[in-house]
């Protein structure tokens, strides 16, 4: 009999913009466009930045502004980065937009960042199993992993294929160890 189960989606619950590690720094801001005057003392600026990664390699990263001096207001406060090798400095793939009141000092070092990984978890659905008709099948997703700092795994199991006459139902499909009972045989063709 052939029942094919799949971890249909393993969602990563990211912490609400929490600092991943102390090994990331945003620096080397550069203008990515012309100053746009809003008023006599307020202007908007587009800036790119570099991330310095003194920790392990990352497949991608999102940096979000979570604080700044009172005269700096993020209009678009998210920088994105592609692959970042260990010990490397990488330039953002986009720019932030800041609205700045120039009647006060414009100090970029007052910007506070939080970081989140955008790395996918690794889904491991367990070994293939051969069981008798009416047997309970125990699935095991405990070998699945989530990249460090990206939050807890959640599970959502579903059948991809079932024998034609099967009405098997997954019990607890949103857990690491769901079960089902085989109820039909698949005849080899």
* DSSP 8-state assignment for residue 55: S
- Predicted TM-score (pTM) of the model is 0.54
Report the alpha-carbon distance of residue 168 to residue 54 in Å, rounded.
Answer: 50
Residue 120: the pLDDT is 58
Over residues 58-102, the pLDDT tens digits come to 888 899 998 888 999 999 999 999 989 999 999 999 999 999 999
For residue 1, what are its two tokens? 């009999």
Residue 148: the pLDDT is 60
User: Are the beta carbons of 61 and 118 closer than 8 angstroms?
Assistant: yes
Residue 99: the pLDDT is 94
Beta bridge partners of 27: 50
Q: What is the mean pLDDT of each run of 10 residues along the chain (189 residues)?
A: 41 29 85 92 94 88 89 92 92 95 89 77 79 90 72 79 85 91 76
> In the CATH hierarchy, which top-level class contains the domain 24-117?
mainly beta
């Amino acid at each position: 009999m052939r029942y094919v189960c799949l971890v249909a989606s393993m969602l990563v619950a990211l912490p609400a913009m929490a600092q991943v590690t102390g090994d990331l720094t945003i620096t080397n801001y550069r203008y990515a466009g012309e100053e746009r005057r809003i008023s006599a003392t307020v202007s908007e600026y587009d800036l790119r930045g570099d991330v310095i990664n003194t920790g392990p390699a990352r497949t991608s990263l999102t940096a979000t502004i979570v604080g700044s001096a009172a005269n700096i207001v993020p209009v678009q406060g998210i920088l994105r980065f592609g692959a970042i090798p260990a010990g490397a400095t990488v330039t953002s793939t986009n720019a932030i937009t800041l609205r700045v009141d120039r009647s006060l000092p414009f100090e970029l070092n007052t910007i506070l960042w939080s970081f989140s990984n955008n790395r996918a978890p690794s889904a491991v659905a367990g070994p293939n199993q051969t069981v008798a008709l009416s047997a309970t099948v125990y699935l095991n997703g405990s070998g699945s992993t989530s990249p460090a700092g990206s939050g807890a795994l959640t599970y959502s199991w579903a059948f991809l294929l079932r024998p034609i006459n099967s009405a098997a139902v997954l019990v607890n499909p949103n857990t690491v160890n769901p079960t089902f009972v085989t109820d039909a045989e698949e005849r080899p063709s």
